[in-house]
A = this chain, B = another copy of it.
Amino acid sequence: MNIRFFGAGFAGLATTALIWASGVSMASEQVYGLVIHGGAGTLTRENLPAETETALRKTLADALHAGHRILAGGGRSLDAVIASVSVLEDSPLFNAGKGAVYTWEETHELDASLMDGRDLAAGAVAAVRNVRSPIELARRVMDDSPHVMLAGVGAELFAQEVGVELVENSWFDTEFRLEQLHIAKQETDPAALLNPLAVENKFGTVGAVALDKDGNLAAATSTGGTTAKRWGRVGDSPLIGAGTYADNNSCAVSATGHGEYFIRHAVAHDICARLAYQKVSLAEAAEYVVMEKLADAGGDGGVIAIDRDGNIAMPFNTEGMYRGHRLGADDPVVRIFKEE
């Protein structure tokens, strides 16, 4: 096992990937693996209670296991990333599905997207209020409609037609997120109120990227957006190219951070494009975009990425990022803080 550290980020290379990259034919040992994230932000040991930390690590491990099991059994990377993201959506601890933050009007509006690197098929939903699993609906948009992206009430009509589980908007309620909204609304500076940076723990988004035994890449991202969001704000998570991208010719990326910057820099596609056109490594491409381009512009957050050789990268320019990975038969790894 060869692990390299890059600044605040991280990049690993499984042994099998090294052999694979060196050109040795190992059809029976195609590397496979999975990386997940549960959001980035002002995460320090001081402001995270021990029992919350334990619960977070347990859920991240469960999410890793759900996706890895599919890959180990020879399943598709697309199914694996959905399985991992579904576990995080169903947990009240992460800002996606159950546990989604509140909008200004005390409702929840959820976004999700996914992409299959095999054929660039993609699905996305924005601002849905009654769909229990937005990532499942994104999958149905990809599979059962001629479209890539559906938004708002129309997306829910589609959900009804294809039989995706619907819930009351209040199903997403949690006491913790309501408190966050009240704190956000107490902010008296109107400029700060409009600024997503004004709210702590703000970059709640979950995501997964995977490489399966057939060499196919996939990426998925799901979120409740930013606390106290207004005006139908759409962040990067449901946008193919910004929060999510996967292409077998380069890599798979899922992002989390101050969405507006991730849209302007087309972060997920840019990392794939640098890999494909500049011929740099995944670590170099992801590190440069997150630690230089985004950081210089003031765009806080991070990404997870995996390429077709099983190299992974998890750079972030915030104090922490909920993250985990499991490559082939290696042990699962779960991390939260920068200095882990």
Contact = CB atoms under 8 A, between A and B. Distances in A.
Contacts of A259: 148
Interface string A53-95: 0000000000000000000000000000000000000000000
Contacts of A266: 240-241, 245, 266, 269
Interface residues of A, number: 46
B234 A150 contact: yes
A232 interface: yes
A337 interface: no
A277 B269 contact: no
Contacts of A19: none
Contacts of A263: 122, 148-149, 240-241
| Oligomeric state, in copies | 2
A155 B121 CA distance: 28
Interface in A104-159: 115, 120-122, 126-127, 145-155, 157-158
A242 interface: yes
A196 interface: yes
Contact of A231 (B122, B154, B230): B154
Interface string A256-278: 00011001111001100110011
Interface in A258-312: 259-260, 263-266, 269-270, 273-274, 277-278, 297
A264 B240 contact: yes
Give the one of A147, A245, A278 with max B CB within 10 A.
A147
Contacts of A274: 273, 277
A194 interface: yes
Nearest to A278: B277
A195 interface: yes
Contacts of A4: none
A234 B126 contact: yes
A31 interface: no
A245 B231 CA distance: 23
A45 interface: no
Given A241-B266, A242-B240, A148 B232 contact: no
Interface in A219-264: 230-235, 239-242, 245, 259-260, 263-264
Contacts of A232: 150-155, 157-158
A146 B269 contact: no
Given A146-B194, A149-B233, 6 more contacts: A120-B264, A146-B260, A152-B152, A154-B231, A154-B232, A270-B273
